[in-house]
Amino acid sequence: MSRLLAAALTVVAATALAVGAALGIVALLDATPDQPNTPLITYEQTGQER
């Protein structure tokens, strides 16, 4: 019975650790500021050539 209890506690602890890590990663990703969406290359428009 003690091995079964130890296994169950290990599963519960591992699940809690995995959920905590997942929530921590999501919190870190939400904390980073969004990068500006500016193009690296811009083209001059010299009129309509069609």
The pLDDT averaged over each successive group of 10 residues in the chain (50 residues) is 95 98 92 79 73
- Quick one: pLDDT at residue 18? 98
Rg of the chain over all Cα atoms, to the nearest angstrom: 26
- Quick one: pLDDT at residue 4? 96
The 3-state DSSP class for residue 50 equals coil
- Identify the residue whose tokens are 């428009």: 45
Cα separation, 23 vs 50, in Å, equals: 54
Q: Which two tokens stand for residue 1?
A: 């019975």
- Quick one: pLDDT at residue 42? 81
The dihedral over CA atoms of 15, 18, 23, 24, expressed in degrees to the nearest 10, equals 140
- Quick one: pLDDT at residue 13? 98
- Quick one: pLDDT at residue 32? 72
- Quick one: pLDDT at residue 36? 81
Give the side-chain half-sphere CA count within 13 A for 47: 2
- Quick one: pLDDT at residue 50? 57
